[in-house]
Amino acid sequence: MFVTWLLISATLLGFVAADNGGFTYNGFHSANLSLDGSAEITPNGLLKLTKATRLLQGHAFYPFPIDFKTSPNDSVLSFSTNFVFAIVPEGPMLNGHGITFAITPARGAPGARPSIYLGLFNDSNNGNDTNHVVAVEFDTLQSIEFNDIDDNHVGIDVNGLTSLVSKSASYYDGKSDSFRNLSLVSGKPTKVWIEYDGKAKQMDVTIAPLNSGKPNRPILSLRRDLSTVLHETMFIGFTSSTGTPAISTHYILGWSFTMNGSAQEIDTSKLPRLPRIGPKKKSSLLVIGMPIIFTVSLMVLVLGLAYCALRKRMFKELLEDWELEYGPHRFKYKELYTATNGFSEKEVLGAGGFGRVYKGTLHSSRREIAVKKVFHETRNGLRAFITEVVSLGQLCHRNLVPLLGYCRRKGELLLVYEYMSNGSLDKYLYGEPKCSLPWRQRFQVIKGVASALVYLHEEWEQLVVHRDIKASNVLLDSEWNGRLGDFGLAKLYDHGTDPQTTHIVGTLGYLAPEHIRTGKGTTYTDVFAFGAFLLEVACGRRPIEPKGPSENFVLVEWVFSCWNKGEILNVVDPKLRMDYVAEEAELVLKLGLLCSLLEPTFRPSMRQVVLYLEGSMAPPELSALNLSTAGLTIPQTSGFDGFVGSSASFSGCKSCSYCTSVENSVLSGGR
């Protein structure tokens, strides 16, 4: 009965002792803690480390030492702690400095200083290996001397305040599969989980708002064996400080800790409440003020209505009845205008004949997007185009840039894509790029684009012909994966035209000869463009480059010539400095020649290309005979207009021996 009474009493007080050398405080009523500095326990059970006074520091430590090792020479055991803290700033511009959870050899932090030292170190011992201190800081002021990343970050410190790893305060939202920002000085409680795996030698730090569950991804991870830092027995607790003029009040609402296990979750329903921020609002209406209030309110109403009318006119969109069914794929113009800061020049990512591309961030979800403005004067066929945009928005492949939707307003069409942080592939290939992609990444990009084309050609419910495959339309995400973009955009210019007429769409150097003759895009024309893409990625050169006033350098001709002389690897991009896999490079170059064959049916399918690249199937052997029979072509060399007007079965540059030999082969009976 006596033991039962003790457990009930401890629970009512918000404190429960745990096994494995652990404890749990759901509030700090009658808690046995070692306090010094400005630290105190308030009447309602809050652990208050500092108050809104300049140059204070507060320490609150568990009074008994914790065994972190079984013997002095053993590894540090696993441990886990949960706590809830809140930082209440004195004013909008007066927040500082922060809180640390610290593991120290002594109970407290002797000789510590306030302000930037967070009540944990001082100017003479900061960074000394003799400190034997491990801490996790929640810092609300950027200290340049400690290389702080910003004024709202979490960091893991060892023996000093220069964090080994740090990150802006945020938490993982599983629903959106992204990290959301979290303000440490919002005055609202924040939950923290700190876990150290003694076997993996890894510390994880996870944070979240009070009413959220534990996220399934930590904000920080540090792989570090703490055995050389921590003694056999250590003390654990909290430190905080204020500065001048940066002052805040620091609170701990609850705390649990355990060794060799998961610390008990804090019971948020038992936590004490934070004090009210600011004075209580008073509602007092004086009779003498009524006329003034009425007049001001009327003026505000009139101005507000006028402002709303102007805003409505500014963001007025053209929305017809038939578009209602595409609602989930249509963005509001106002939303995109806000996301791009009014389509600011500072947000321009690129420009072309179609219009401009802007970077933006959706206000509602904080998702980064790329908005392509396309000017379209023709109304005929617009419904068919939007139907296709919505349909293409259903494409889902890891190597395609997701098309999120569209918006139209007056003569503008706006296409909304997911933002790719590393930009387009071409800026890493040509000229003298700041960063040249290594061969390993180039080969991965090639395989990714090939996989995306198989998906477009064969695996989706409808066949999609891209029509404009080139390095500038391949974007690199944050992990440097290649993603094919602008799919379906080329068809924009076909909507509203007579289906019996042809309209050539694409880029010189990537256009298959049959596409130029007929204007029809097929999977074969995509394969031809992919061949040009393979050569430009391997060689670091554009398919066609000016060589003189009336002469062009043709990449496929050069590669063919070097292959014919048995020197095909001489064409590999010199920026790679011979740091590439010769077998892979030779495979890519030979596939580029195969995909560039004049006769469409002799080109491999994208499914075959993927099998070749993955090594699942050996590519056909190249020989002068089979290339001559199938026909290699170098279109556009003698001028694009002349090429389009030619009715010959072979349309090459008739000035070079390569084209002449292939043309003779074709005219003498070769396909």
**Per-residue pLDDT tens for 255-282?**
999 999 999 999 999 999 998 766 555 5
How buried is residue 114: exposed, middle or buried, by Cβ count under 10 Å (0-12/13-18/19+)?
buried
**Per-residue pLDDT tens for 8-57?**
444 444 444 444 468 999 999 888 999 999 999 999 999 999 988 888 99
Backbone angles phi, psi at 154, to 5 degrees: -120, 135
- Is the CB of residue 256 less than 8 Å from the CB of residue 24? yes
Q: What is the CA radius of gyration of the chain?
A: 34
Residue 645, SS3 per DSSP: helix
Q: Give the CA dihedral 459, 465, 466, 468, nearest 10 degrees.
A: 150
DSSP 221: E
Backbone angles phi, psi at 58, to 5 degrees: -135, 140
Place of tokens 């401009």: 356
Q: What tokens does 18 get?
A: 């745990």
- Is the CB of residue 484 less than 8 Å from the CB of residue 467? no
Catalytic residue among 139, 204, 468, 486: 468
Other beta carbons less than 10 A from residue 508's beta carbon: 14
- Is the CB of residue 237 less than 8 Å from the CB of residue 108? yes
**Structural domains present in the chain:** 2-263 (2.60.120.200), 317-419 (3.30.200.20), 426-498+509-667 (1.10.510.10)
600, 593, 582, 655: which is closest to 627 by C-alpha? 593
The alpha helices in 473-605, defined as continuous H runs, are 513-518, 523-539, 555-564, 582-595
Backbone angles phi, psi at 40, to 5 degrees: -155, 160
Residue 320, C-beta contacts closer than 8 angstroms, at least 6 positions apart: none
> Whole-angstrom Cα distance, residue 263 to residue 255?
9
Place of tokens 């534990």: 214
Place of tokens 């027995």: 233
DSSP 499: T
Give me the numbers of helices (H) and strands (E) for the chain, helices first please: 13, 28
Whether 151 is catalytic = no
Residue 642, C-beta contacts closer than 8 angstroms, at least 6 positions apart: none
- Is the CB of residue 85 less than 8 Å from the CB of residue 190? yes
Q: DSSP for 402-425, please give it.
A: -EEEEEEETTEEEEEEE--TT-BG
Place of tokens 């790029």: 433
pLDDT for the residue numbered 191: 97
94, 55, 70, 84: which is closest to 20 by C-alpha? 70
- Is the CB of residue 55 less than 8 Å from the CB of residue 73? no
Other beta carbons less than 10 A from residue 173's beta carbon: 16
> Whole-angstrom Cα distance, residue 221 to residue 235?
22
Residue 325, C-beta contacts closer than 8 angstroms, at least 6 positions apart: none
Residue 67, SS3 per DSSP: strand
Residue 490, SS3 per DSSP: helix
Angle at 498 between CA 379 and CA 484, to 5 degrees: 75
- Is the CB of residue 477 less than 8 Å from the CB of residue 422? yes
Backbone angles phi, psi at 11, to 5 degrees: -65, -45
Mean pLDDT in each 10-residue stretch from start to end of the chain (671 residues)?
41 43 88 92 93 89 94 93 92 79 91 90 92 95 91 95 95 90 92 96 96 92 94 95 86 95 92 77 57 80 74 59 60 90 90 79 90 65 64 83 82 84 90 86 96 92 86 92 72 37 68 87 92 96 81 88 92 93 95 93 94 91 58 41 30 39 34 28
> Whole-angstrom Cα distance, residue 385 to residue 376?
11
Residue 39, C-beta contacts closer than 8 angstroms, at least 6 positions apart: 47, 48, 49, 50, 58, 59, 60
Q: What tokens does 291 get?
A: 């006329």
